[in-house]
Amino acid sequence: MKMSTYIVAYVIGEFEVTDPIVVNGTEIRAYCVPGKKHLTTYALKAAQFALTWFERYFGIKYPGNKLDLIGIPDFAFGAMENLGCVTFRETALLVSEETATIGELLRVSEVVMHEIAHMWFGDLVTMKWWNGLWLNEAFATFMATKVQDAFRRQWERWVSFGQERAAAMRTDGLASTRSVEAPVNHPAEALGMIDVITYRKGCSVLRQLEQYIGEDTFRDGIRVYLKKHAYSNAETTDLWDAIASVTTLPVREIMTTWVFQPGYPVITVSESAISGGVTLSQAPFKYLAAAVDKSQTWLVPVLLRFKTAEGVGTKWVLLDGKEKSIYLGEQLEWVVVNADGHGFYRTSYSPKLASKLTANMSETLNSIERFNLVNGAWACAQAGLTSAEQYLDIVALFSEERDPNIWGLLHSSLARIYDLLPERNRSVFAKLVRTIVMPQYNRLGWTEKAGESAQDRQVRGTVILMLGTIGNYSLLGDAARQLFGKYKTDRSAVASDVVPAMIALLAHNGGSTEYDELAQLLSATQVPQEKVRFLMAQASFRDVALLEKTLASTITATVRTQDAPSLLVRLLGNGRINVKAWQFIKDNWDYMVANFPETGLISMVSGVTALDRQELETDVIAFFATHPVKGGDKAVAQNLELLRVAVEFKCREAGLLAAKFAMPVVTLETAPVVATDESFGPGPALVRQTGSEIEGAQGPAPTTVLQPSAVVDGPGPELVRQTDSPTTESTDGTSGA
């Protein structure tokens, strides 16, 4: 059939194949190396659902005569959308439903659905040139998220997408960011387009547009686009023309500002001169003040939700200039800007309006809006617009929070603050962490409860890991060790969403015995997700000799080249080894260039953002000035800028935080005050084993994961300390395009 040559593939090797599943005449099969066929069931369920859903949504039958899904043991990309012969890294296709976390199941279904979406966006209609790569990748990301939301409603996929939007905003807040569509002069430069801007910002602005013009109208425009350009090529303006043909709203004008210029705005909200109204004003958001171009503006679709004398209402506003005032009604009590959280911008409220929202968040803000509140506060602290202490004031409001995405953000941001503190001050800060986390620890426990939500299952792991690491709650390490003893012989003995936290705590508190046990499990397991978990845990120990052993393994046959870059990112993020890890990378750079996948090298650069000392920053800049990364010019520039942001944040905040969390002065006349597990009120004094449950005196305890974030066939880990979430997969690099 007529297709682009870059989506033709031949796969040769010894594979097992499943029986076909037939969807509207199309046979779907999964292929894997012998012995793993039992791990294909879930991916086939996802593929069957997606193929049915996409044919109905697009109104166009699948443009192939069969659909094969093939797991490749060592694969540079996350997956690749070859037409009818889709190739996957094993972690993105093979999974055990019985033992996988929600995040791991989400990951597999997301990648499978992303690649099947490409059968229409990319394969049926192909971009004219690589500058239009986003037409393929942003749409595949958008469509995969939509179908996933239908596949498992309880996972609240558009809520968890907030984490991915936040990752895109982190990069897009840099001076070194780029526009979604950018010039590409040679195919090799397309590697630089495989990043969160293409995938996550692209998806975000599509979702923003869809919500503004309406989901049915958006779908109708997509159908026009696909039918008009089937078995042919298209460019971005073709898409705007197709959508504009089914609506009177200014689609092209809006999207031009989002796709062809970099960055995004912060919208300031204040009371207007007229009672019952608010004024919205926009300005570019940048982490470094010198990078701000104050003349830059966007056409911003803004959804407002507000409460007046007439009750709660909503209103769309198109902010098409620097400032606009809007009347909402008499006796205006509160207003939420970016209601439902789908806008790709930050929001800054006047003190009065902000206090009205935070005074009763359960009434005023839903979970994604609360996530945006915390994420925006953390971004402002990193940018120096507010202080870390002010951010902690916001965090203190969230001890009753039940959304796993918010807890993931709280974990990574508080861990960053913990790392800034001298060792002697950390126990005092840990007491604050315990104060924030304990309510959820006491509510959830270690074991799953009948009928509990997917969100509770995910929060459980996060709060346990927070308590056991930055909360200095050592008894959780003992509990993890006891559970691990059962887990080694019976994987079902520990709740799947607790396992990553258990392994992380085992490594955090472990020595050579635990290291060897994890190495044995790594060599024995055939489950891809377990391999990743056991391998990455080797970078979470605190014993330097063990970390050096892990470091040396990254350039040996014991670690696959697809996994080595992510393992090195983990090691760069571990403060006990990161300086040695950086020297090791420099010493072995030529070997890595010759042996690691190009996309892996690009993603590995993200690890340097943890080297937040000025002398290390100088060394990193000098190194990359003479050691270019193929296809990674933009990624290197962005990560060097993120390093500068981290260094400035540390210089600005470390001293203030050290003073705030200084140990109290102890005299002979007063009893010593030491922040230990025992000094934190009635925490469990004993850990006892009852059946399959580990309990303390307070009742069952909870857990989490150190698992770096990567996107579906996206650029690999951005943050080292990240909770298990729909977007986590420690070793996945990028997918092809």
Residues annotated catalytic, as ranges: 115
Distances (CA, A) of 629 to 174, 453, 592, 609: 20, 44, 11, 16
What are the φ/ψ torsions at residue 88 (nearest 5 degrees)? Answer: -135, 145
**Rg for the chain (alpha carbons), in Å?**
25
3-state secondary structure of 341: helix
Q: Cα separation of 173 and 292, whole Å?
A: 10
Are the CB atoms for 427 and 663 separated by under 8 Å?
Answer: yes
329 burial via Cβ count (<10 Å: 0-12, 13-18, 19+): middle
Q: Which residue has the tokens 């749409």?
A: 139
Q: Cα separation of 565 and 681, whole Å?
A: 43
CB pairs under 8 A, 24+ apart, for 415-418? Answer: 415/469, 415/470, 415/721, 416/721, 417/388, 417/392, 417/653, 417/657, 418/470
215 burial via Cβ count (<10 Å: 0-12, 13-18, 19+): exposed
Are the CB atoms for 233 and 128 separated by under 8 Å?
Answer: yes
CB atoms closer than 10 angstroms to residue 260: 12
Q: Residue 491 CA to chain centroid, in angstroms?
A: 27
In single-letter form, the type of residue at position 547 comes to: L
Q: Cα separation of 614 and 646, whole Å?
A: 10
Q: Cα separation of 244 and 222, whole Å?
A: 10
Q: Cα separation of 2 and 125, whole Å?
A: 11
Distances (CA, A) of 593 to 38, 408, 459, 585: 36, 33, 39, 11
